[in-house]
Amino acid sequence: MSTTTQPAAMRSPFARFGWALADSWAIALRDLHHWVLQPGTVFLGWLFPVMIVLMFGGLFGGAISVPGGGGYFEFLMPGMFATAMLFGLETTMLAVTTDAAKGVTDRFRSLPINSAAVVLGRCIADMLNSVVGLTILVVAGLLLGWRWRGGLIEALAAIGLLLLLRFALLWIGIFCGMIAKRPESVAAVQILVWPVSFLSNVFVDPTTMPGWLGALAQWNPLSATAAAARQLFGNPGWGGEGWIGQHAPLMAIVWPALLVVIFLPLSVRAFRTLAR
Amino acid sequence: MKATEFAIVAQGVRKHYARGTADAGLNGFDLEVRSGSVCGLLGPNGAGKTTAIRILSTLLALDAGQAHVAGYDVATQGRRVRERIGLVGQYAAVDEILTGRQNLVLFGRLHHLAAASARKRADELLERFALNEAGRRPVSTYSGGMRRRLDLAATLIVPPAVLFVDEPTTGLDPAARQEVWSALRELVGAGTTVLLTTQYLEEADQLADHIAMLKAGRVIAEGTPDALKAAMGGNWLDIVLSNRTDAETTKGIAARVASGELHIDNSAHRVSVPVAAHTSALIEVASALHEAGIAPVDITLRRPTLDEVFLHLTADSPTPAEVFV
């Protein structure tokens, strides 16, 4: 029928895998075009965590005593890096819901491409978005006087753990986006993100909270990544209480892994049930 | 093989949705669409038109029955089907932030065209659908008709053997509707099999050479527009009177030649009579009216409109008429 495409059956599994990657990249590239065409929206998304840093660091920083001494920015920045990863959840969910509501997801599904490419493309685009956002936040932190005190390897490991958290949250975002049906539902998640970030060790030391609330904050996956990042960056305030406080780097791997194990299959299932 | 003769074959397709969902199911849906023809799937909201399109384009799994598109089973050979179809959904499913050209290049790349050929093809299609100027602008600045045209162009990057078009002109103004119609007509000329759903009888009459009428998830009548009109009991005789006083006498005269129930439109002073014997009925009614001293404003013999066929077939009578022609 056409000379431009070759029926999939004639391709080797290796070539099909290559096409799946090429398709994923084509779909991810669409988001990069969005950055160019709507720079304001994307840039605001990247600047928002910087604004929160200035707000908390400048307005409340003086009144909060940092465990183990040191400046509040030293304590705040690693936590804000983790929080910025959490904010990424909204980006993913909004993109997934909008595509489903506008019929773009159905158009992708009606093409002779591997359906995993649709999800993988989203994955690549959002991870790139977070890498740029994190870079901007790191630069802002350096300008405000935050420094990492450890070695470069440890600093890169911290960045790795932060991106691992983002990767885990990606699947929550895809799952919530799939079941949300309407872009308006994203507003609910935008509100819920706040209690999750406050109920952690990002802004204040959980030992200063009432006992049960402190325990809840310490077990928050966000706290594990924030504490592990503080430890690896050599910033103050990482020595929490109890087992959970002592094993932050371990939990910064276990929590995201657990979230992926739960939400990746749920996302795949939600994608499949579009056909039911 | 049957596939060469019929591009779309559906047999006893069933799809049930849980109670309380807005989606309309299918209840023994049968359809055969000849290769290279245009079939109009006509029905009110909730008849199951979109469900049928989604099943045939492999977006939705069927519960029971069988469906083949371009010779392949939609349930087990989805990928083969997807290589041969194009889908224009109910919403213009294009990226609103991207420009028209970027959309076409994206879908070209997803059809595995090389970067240069994807750009070339995008420019060809923009030209063909009169979007060259708009091609550089974001889709969010497009009118409804332009979006629809871009949507159509996106499905034609690699010309499909079978094209599904779901309510192409719903929500468009009359000028935009004409634009979309002429774009669709051009496609039909190229030999693509088209299955088109619509709520507008005029649209089906304009574009389709075969019409299937859908009600509650089943095809209740199908045939050419002409055959469907004929199935309504031949032609209609319209008698328009100058005043209401002659109405009773006229009804009595008309009843003598009627092959079915009369339709009386009081506000228009019009009596419509289905007639089997066309010319003789016209002569009989005209002379009887003359003898009674009634001078009608207008007396016409005409074919039934598709609206009349449709209302007749979808009327909620206890035993719905089933006509297969």
pLDDT at residue B325 is higher than 70? no
- State which of A7-21, B93-107, B274-288 shows the largest mean pLDDT: B93-107
Between chains, do B59 and A110 touch, taking CB under 8 Å as contact?
A: yes
Gyration radius of chain A's alpha carbons: 20
Predicted confidence at residue B108, as pLDDT, reads 95
Q: Taking CB atoms and an 8 Å limit, are B110 and A1 in contact across chains?
A: no
d(CA B32, CA B100): 35
B261-299 residue pLDDT tens: 888 888 878 888 888 877 888 999 999 999 988 888 999
Query: How does pLDDT run across A58-102, given as a tens digit for each residue?
Result: 887 777 777 666 778 888 999 999 999 999 999 999 999 999 888
Which of chain A's residues have a Cβ under 8 Å away from the Cβ of B58?
A: 109-110, 275
Question: What mean pLDDT is predicted for residues A27-34?
Answer: 94
pLDDT value for B324: 42
- Tell which CATH architecture fits domain B233-303: 2-Layer Sandwich (3.30)
Rounded to a whole number of angstroms, the distance from the CA of A201 to the nearest CA of chain B is 38
Higher pLDDT, B103 or B172: B103
* Residue B284, burial from CB neighbour count under 10 angstroms (0-12, 13-18, 19+): middle
Question: Tokens representing B126?
Answer: 């923009």
Q: What average pLDDT is seen over chain A? A: 87
CATH 1.10.10.10 fits B2-229, yes or no: no
- Is residue A49 within 8 A of residue A137, CB to CB? The reply is yes
The predicted-structure confidence for A224-247, as pLDDT tens digits, reads as follows: 999 999 999 988 875 566 787 788
Predicted pLDDT of residue A3? 40
B-facing residues of A in 24-53 (CB < 8 A) are: 26-27, 29-30, 33-34, 37-38
What pLDDT, in 10s, does the model give residues A99-154?
A: 988 889 989 999 988 888 999 999 999 999 999 999 999 999 999 989 998 889 99
Q: What is the pLDDT of residue A263?
A: 94
Which range is least confidently modeled, A4-18, A165-179, B154-168, B201-215? A4-18
Q: Which domain holds residue A175?
A: 12-273
What are the tokens at A174? 């895809």
pLDDT of residue B56: 96
Q: Among A19, A30, A31, A35, pick the best mutation site for testing chain B contact (most B Cβ within 10 A).
A: A30
Q: How close B153 gets to chain A, by Cα (Å)?
A: 13
The pLDDT value recorded for residue B262 is 84
Q: Is A258 on the interface with B (CB under 8 A)?
A: no
10 Å CB burial of residue A200 (0-12, 13-18, 19+) is buried
- Give the residue among A80, A227, A233, A82 at the shortest CA–CA distance from A155: A233
Listed residue (A100, A125, A105) closest to A28, CA to CA: A125
Residues of A with CB below 8 A from B96's CB? Answer: 102
Is the pLDDT reported for residue A57 higher than 70?
yes
Q: How far A3 CA lies from chain B's nearest CA (Å)?
A: 9
CA distance A132 to chain B (A): 21
Provide φ and ψ at B297, rounded to 5°: -70, -40
With an 8 Å Cβ cutoff, is A198 touching chain B? no
Residues of B within an 8 Å Cβ radius of A: 57-61, 79-80, 82-87, 89-99, 102, 106-107, 109-113, 117, 138, 154, 158-159, 161
Percentage of chain B lying above the pLDDT 90 cut? 47
Higher per-residue pLDDT: B19 or B135: B135
pLDDT of residue B315: 66
The answer to whether residue A3 sits within a structural domain is: no
Q: Looking at the domain assignment, is residue A1 inside a domain? A: no
Under the banding of pLDDT at 50, 70 and 90, the label for residue A8 is very low
Q: Between residues A174 and A186, which one has the greater pLDDT?
A: A174
Q: Which of A208-222, B83-97, B98-112 has the largest mean confidence?
A: B98-112
Closest CA–CA distance from residue A33 to any residue of chain B (Å): 7
Residues of chain A found within 8 Å of residue B87, distances taken between Cβ atoms: 106-107, 110
Question: Which region among B49-58, B76-85, B139-148, B255-264 has the lowest average model confidence (pLDDT)?
Answer: B255-264
A11 contact residues in B (CB cutoff 8 A): none
pLDDT of residue A140: 95
More confident residue, B18 or A248: A248
Per-residue CA distances from B16 to A82, A96, A269, A273, B22 (Å):
45, 26, 20, 14, 12
Chain A residue with minimum CA distance to B82: A112
Residue B212 reports pLDDT greater than 90: yes
How far out from the chain centre does Cα A231 lie? 20
Sheet holding B210-215, edge to edge: B85-88, B162-166, B193-198, B38-42, B210-215, B218-223, B323-324
A110 contacts B57? CB cut-off 8 A: yes
User: Which chain A residues are closer than 8 Å to B61 by Cβ?
Assistant: 275-276
Q: How many domains does chain A have?
A: 1
Say whether A37 and B106 touch across the interface (CB within 8 A): no
ipTM of the assembly?
A: 0.85
Contacts of A2 in chain B (CB under 8 A): 158-159
Residues of A in contact with B161 (CB under 8 A): 1
Whether the predicted pLDDT of B308 surpasses 90:
no
B244: pLDDT confidence band, cut at 50, 70 and 90? confident
Whether the per-residue pLDDT at B1 is higher than 50: the answer is no
Give a yes or no: residue A2 inside a domain: no
Average pLDDT over residues B21-49: 89
According to CATH, where is 3.40.50.300 located in chain B? 2-229
Region for residue A94 given its phi and psi (left: phi exceeds 0; alpha: psi -120 to 50; beta: otherwise): alpha
Instruction: Give percent of chain A above pLDDT 90.
Output: 52
pLDDT band at A17 (very low <50, low <70, confident <90, very high): confident
Judge whether A39 lies within some domain: yes
B88 → chain A, closest CA residue: A107
Residue B291 neighbours by CB under 8 Å, 6+ apart = none
The whole-chain average pLDDT of chain B stands at: 87
For residue A207, pLDDT over 70 is answered with: yes
Contact B113 A103 (CB under 8 A): no
What pLDDT sits at residue B316? 53
**Chain A nearest C-alpha distance from B317 (Å):** 32
Residues of chain B with CATH 3.30.70.980: 233-303
Residues of chain B neighbouring A29 (CB-CB closer than 8 A): 106
Instruction: Flag whether pLDDT at B320 surpasses 50.
Output: no
